Structure 1
Amino acid sequence: MAPSAAASSTLLVLLALLLSPAVAAAAAPQSRHRLGASLQVASLNASGPPTTFFEVDRPIRPPRGSAGPCSTLLLSATFGATYGRPPVTASYAPPACLGAGGTLALAVLEWAADCRGRQFDRIFGVWLSGAELLRSCTAEPRPNGILWSVSRDVTRYAALLVEPGEVAVYLGNLIDKTYTGVYHANLTLHLYFHAEPQQQQQSDLIVPISRSLPLNDGQWFAIQNSTDVQSKKLAIPSNTYRAVLEVFVSFHSDDEFWYTNPPNDYIQANNLSNVPGNGAFREVVVRVDGEVVGAVWPFTVIYTGGVNPLLWRPITGIGSFNLPTYDIDITPFLGKLLDGKEHDFGFGVTNALDVWYIDANLHLWLDHKSEKTTGSLLSYDASGLDLNVNSDFTGLDGQFVTSASRHVSATGWVKSSFGEVTTTFYQRFSYENSNVFRKNGTVQIVNQTIDAKSGIFAKDASAVLLSEEFHEVFPLYLYTGTSDQAGDEYSLDSLVKFGINEKKTSGGKLGFLYSSLRNAQSAQGTMRVKKNLVVGGLGKTHQVYKYVGTDGCYFRDVSSKNYTVLFDRSDDSCSKGAYRGASAKLNDQPARRKLLANKL
């Protein structure tokens, strides 16, 4: 994943092949996960039409009665030998339709790309005036070519879209005799407008917390170890009355599969110097002036070359084309930030190995009726991380059980022309991971659950203005096993089951809103690997996506095998019968039942 990660993956494979048979077998459970980033099917057949890859997600639809789209091509570029070079940039001028009257109803950023040949999966980012709008992974091409597109709702960036700026895209790609794939991409902005003026809910100002151009990399910060803290100093306007940090996170190289990493004592006991360690827990910690204001316990995105590349063709892994972002409301801390001075916004990763890419956008709401707001922090609790690891292993086999929890909460008031509003923000996290090695370390089984709850409550003297709660559960089951190893050739069996279960409720001035999402993906396959190339194999994937909310419903049940879609059923009518039948089918799989028993 990404050029630096791909190089690391290749190095791990070569080291494993050079080791003695016993040590090579032990290294296999770790290095094999990272093979996916560098493996391509060894096929010379370039005939036939290109394959369209896709990530299953809820379609972005404009509000009823809105006008549009007004579409503008922002950038068209080719990404060949681009690793370690400056991002591709283009001047941004607000589309004329933004100044033609009407209220923005929806803004959609669309990335459409194609590639032919052989190539790694690559991470890339899109920034506007330093604020990241999209974090994504490329699809891995075929000799006959591939197509894919990603659409992201960027309505929340309305304050950026109305100002001139610069678009920057970094996609670090490498070209050589083996890896020939060049990515061709178009970046387009689609705008829709309400027929009648409506009150805007988006922030008034967005301040990027990222690295500034010029540079020969993405504008994200690179976190390279557990003590590395990257930060940026900035001052916020004195009339701010609300502030939310939107954090972008992706993990690569030695930490691409952090949830599979054994503790360091296992690595040291077995002399596995080429195997990443530091255990199977990671969290992103966000600090302002050194104080913890929130955390991110990230969803386990598997990129398009991860575990077994054949699993993600043409259905890609959840979140791989449109990586999730994470919001942290820092309004309670405004009393400390409204002094006109610069404050330090920093990011670190607990137990991190090289490398994590992190940046953020600070969304600010401004009081246009006053020059200065005031505030104070009333209460604050960030008592720290509770992390426990129990190890039980003999030689290369054993089990490692990791559990963790964290609680962060803060309450503060801000006085503006809207009155005095008291805001409380909280986060509660829990984590369980069982990591098992069997058969002399050639089989690894991971069972993991991340449970994250957060809430925002804002009230004035007379009423509750906002009451919002968000609950996410990320279940993961991963089985990998190597066999028939002979020199530089071996077989790999894999089974991956993971998903996102989330519920969101909100009330207050905007009325009651509710949504529920169950997004479950099951993928299994086998592949024969020789000299870092997949010379044969099988991959099949089944996914069920079910969304129900006050804003509508969406359901999709889709399955694929070896680049071919076997069936694809979707519905947006909120029909309970369709949901129930597909969910029962997925739940009927034996391996699925095991995962359900593990808190899915």
Structure 2
Amino acid sequence: MASAGQRRLLTAFVVGLVTSVCGTVLQVQSDDRSDSRYVSSRSEIKEHRLAKMGRLAYDMEVAMPSSLTSAPLLECFQVAQPVLEPSASGKAVTVTLMEHQFANSYGSPFVGEYTPPDFDFDHVVINFTVEVRGRQFDRWGTVYLDNVNIFSTSTAEPTPNGITWTWRKDVTPYLSLWKQPHTLIFQLDNVITDVYTGLLNSTFTATFFKSGAQGGAPPADLIIPVSASKSPATTSFWTYPEENATASVTFPRNVNRAVFSANVKAQGNDEFWWSNVPQSAVDAFEPDAGTYPGYSPFREVQISIDGMLAGVYWPYPTIFTGGVVPQLHRPIVGIDAFDLRDHEIDISPWLPLLCDGKEHTFGIKVVGLVDNGETTAALSNTTEGSWYLVGKVFLWLDEEGSVTTGTLGTVTTEPKIAFEQKLTRNATGYNETLDYKVSVKRDFGITSTLVTKKGNGTATWSQSLEYSNVGGLYLNGYGGINTFLTTGKEKAEVAGWDYETSFSYPLFCNTTTQYLPAGNLTLWAQLDQALKLEVKGDGVFPSGAEAFTGEWDGSLLDTERNGTANYSRYGDNTITTGVGRTHQIFHFGGLKGETAKELYFRDVAAFNNSVVSDVEVIGDLAI
């Protein structure tokens, strides 16, 4: 929420405002709505202010002078710890799964046939490398083995001179799939026109090897997709809320542990969901800035089994490389931008129901909040569009012929929501500022009794989540600010298995879009974001500590990323300037009990597309 001092400073900086909407002519707009010069040029198409800001900034950047296209490609990267590599003395086989140029690829994914290499492997690491020159927005990509999603990513936004990047990921959790032939589907939607010229030249490989290192649970015996089942024609995610994200699933009867994994991506008017406005305020600045995306800046992903809530996921606010202002993300892309993190929900307490040999319905749903405009809010039944949703269930099995039984426990579900909102008007009666505070708290839990081949006991899944967002709009809707925080603790206890995680997702974003009476345009943004993630025990996905020597109970990731960027353009387009600064500090450590030992550290800063400082310390790798 902008303070009074912030608003005075920003208002003093702006002499006047001009409305600018895609596909319309800029019209001069004074602060006096009675002025006869005011002409509304609002588009009928809803567009989030941050999406519009990123588009304007990229247009301005592309218009700036560039060097020859023979210049070296700029290497973009996501800061992350190393992944496990094959040992120097051990056998490893690298297979090229795809070499493909994604051009006009909407609805036309790469489809190939995967055959396992002919040797005994127990680890798999993928490598995705892209080169692109020209103009292109950030694009979303996803990889499936038949109907199971194994990797979701987004692309960096190129410069005219070109960029490249590489991402490596340990996909050993999908080992049971890699052991069998499958159809491999890689969807990377792209558009080529006389304006958008960037061809995504992509290579996708997998390296297969043996290693004694293990971070988390051993790979599952069976993986069941909870997806739209569109293979082999295309990838199998749902587009929500346009599609009903439900699937019928039948479990084998001898399951001793089951974990649901959700992978979600927000698109369109929900791409910046964490800065959406309360539903009652979507039209608050309609005469000036247009209609805003709503359902509040809170989102909850709900997982249901036969219509009953089985767990929730409060998503990380991933900001993709065209988000807010592109210079915030080049060459250092945002946290999780190259690898959209899956989230685990242990559904072992539901095994007494799911192991009955019958078909059951799994559902994935995203909700926000609806409010009364004052002090009351409740969960909505839908959101803005669109979300890409997909899930899968990892199953660990007892001996064939055994049957899991037990008694299904009861579920605690209801969240606690606090909400307040205030609109202020100027002297002419038009809304000038919007301030809101949203907080949500949810304690979810279920405990059931289980009878498996491993013995009798209980299975528990518990979640304790808290969310807050203090935000608002100012400058008649052309400036916005959000101070966001999600924290959580989640725990699974099943006979022979234990898993625990805690996390914190802080974010601060402050932006302005300013049009001066002469037609000059200025964009300014500050974006601070962090991630703290602690994982212990038998997680489905590697903890990351397995890449280093030593024995670890878990891992601790702690990173903070800060950036500012601004662009200016003269009204006659004769001069365009821009500058961006980004700084990220990244800590990664192994956990032994409650003690963390740092295994990887990086402190890197960039200015105007160039790395200006970089300190990296790598511990002893397990190779």
TM-score range, shorter chain: 0.7 to 0.9
1:195 Cα deviation (Å)? Answer: 7.1
Q: Is 1:36 equivalent to 2:44 in the alignment?
A: no
Change beyond 3 A, Cα 1:209–1:563 = same
Q: Distance in 2 between matches of 1:494 and 1:440?
A: 17
Match of 2:15 in 1: none
Q: Is 1:543 equivalent to 2:560 in the alignment?
A: no
Q: Distance in 2 between matches of 1:88 and 1:512?
A: 39
Match of 1:411 in 2: 447
1:328 Cα deviation (Å)? Answer: 0.5
Flag the structure with higher helix content: 1
Deviations 1:156-191 (A, max 9, x none): 000100011110011111111111111011111112
1:212 Cα deviation (Å)? Answer: 2.3
Deviations 1:84-114 (A, max 9, x none): x23211001011123xxxx61x311111111
Q: Distance in 1 between matches of 2:210 and 2:110?
A: 30
Q: Distance in 2 between matches of 1:135 and 1:567?
A: 30
Match of 2:419 in 1: 389
Q: Is 1:335 equivalent to 2:352 in the alignment?
A: yes
The structure 1 residue matched to 2:502, chosen from 461, 467, 471, is 471
1:486 Cα deviation (Å)? Answer: 5.0
Q: Is 1:314 equivalent to 2:331 in the alignment?
A: yes
Match of 1:579 in 2: none
Change beyond 3 A, Cα 1:63–1:149 = closer
Unaligned runs of 5+ in 2: 1-18, 32-39, 369-382, 425-430, 540-545
Q: Distance in 1 between matches of 2:518 and 2:41?
A: 10
Q: Distance in 2 between matches of 1:199 and 1:119?
A: 38
Deviations 1:23-77 (A, max 9, x none): 7799999424443257252245324111111000111023778724321111111
Q: Distance in 1 between matches of 2:262 and 2:213?
A: 33
The structure 2 residue matched to 1:259, chosen from 274, 284, 290, is 274
Q: Distance in 1 between matches of 2:281 and 2:215?
A: 59
Matched residue of 1:425: which SS? strand
Match of 1:563 in 2: 609
Q: Is 1:92 equivalent to 2:123 in the alignment?
A: no
Matched residue of 2:80: which SS? coil
The question of whether the paired residues in 1 share the 8 Å contact of 2:50 and 2:272 is answered with no
Q: Distance in 2 between matches of 1:257 and 1:151?
A: 26
The structure 2 residue matched to 1:498, chosen from 524, 529, 532, is 529
Q: Distance in 1 between matches of 2:407 and 2:345?
A: 18
| Paired residues for 1:103-502 under 5 Å | 104=122, 106-194=123-211, 201-213=218-230, 218-224=235-241, 229-271=244-286, 273-351=290-368, 352-377=383-408, 379-394=409-424, 395-459=431-495, 465-485=496-516, 490-502=521-533
The question of whether the paired residues in 1 share the 8 Å contact of 2:606 and 2:613 is answered with yes
Q: Distance in 2 between matches of 1:444 and 1:117?
A: 31
Cα RMSD (Å) of the superposition? 3.1
1:512 Cα deviation (Å)? Answer: 6.8
The question of whether the paired residues in 1 share the 8 Å contact of 2:84 and 2:170 is answered with no
The question of whether the paired residues in 2 share the 8 Å contact of 1:244 and 1:363 is answered with yes
The question of whether the paired residues in 2 share the 8 Å contact of 1:94 and 1:162 is answered with yes
Matched pairs, number: 549
The question of whether the paired residues in 2 share the 8 Å contact of 1:454 and 1:470 is answered with yes
The question of whether the paired residues in 1 share the 8 Å contact of 2:559 and 2:585 is answered with yes
Letter in 1 for 2:175: A
Change beyond 3 A, Cα 1:546–1:163 = same
The question of whether the paired residues in 2 share the 8 Å contact of 1:513 and 1:549 is answered with yes
Q: Distance in 2 between matches of 1:197 and 1:248?
A: 23
1:264 Cα deviation (Å)? Answer: 2.6
Letter in 1 for 2:355: L
The question of whether the paired residues in 2 share the 8 Å contact of 1:66 and 1:193 is answered with no
Change beyond 3 A, Cα 1:28–1:231 = closer
The question of whether the paired residues in 1 share the 8 Å contact of 2:556 and 2:588 is answered with yes
Q: Is 1:519 equivalent to 2:559 in the alignment?
A: yes
Change beyond 3 A, Cα 1:20–1:206 = farther
Matched residue of 2:350: which SS? helix
Match of 1:55 in 2: 78
1:359 Cα deviation (Å)? Answer: 0.2
1:428 Cα deviation (Å)? Answer: 1.2
1:220 Cα deviation (Å)? Answer: 1.1
Letter in 1 for 2:73: P
Change beyond 3 A, Cα 1:197–1:19 = closer
Runs of 4+ in 1 over 4 A off after TM superposition: 15-20, 22-30, 63-66, 195-200, 214-217, 486-489
Matched residue of 1:311: which SS? helix
1:426 Cα deviation (Å)? Answer: 0.7
1:196 Cα deviation (Å)? Answer: 11
Matched residue of 2:95: which SS? strand
Mean alpha-carbon deviation: is it higher for 305-314 or for 387-396? 387-396
Q: Distance in 2 between matches of 1:400 and 1:66?
A: 59
Deviations 1:360-402 (A, max 9, x none): 111111112434222321x322322322321011113031101
Matched residue of 2:282: which SS? helix
1:20 Cα deviation (Å)? Answer: 7.3
TM-score in terms of structure 1 length: 0.85
1:336 Cα deviation (Å)? Answer: 0.6
1:17 Cα deviation (Å)? Answer: 5.4
The question of whether the paired residues in 1 share the 8 Å contact of 2:215 and 2:554 is answered with no
Matched residue of 2:286: which SS? coil
Match of 1:14 in 2: 22
1:218 Cα deviation (Å)? Answer: 3.8
The question of whether the paired residues in 2 share the 8 Å contact of 1:408 and 1:428 is answered with yes
Unaligned runs of 5+ in 1: 1-10, 460-464, 575-600
Q: Distance in 2 between matches of 1:289 and 1:537?
A: 53
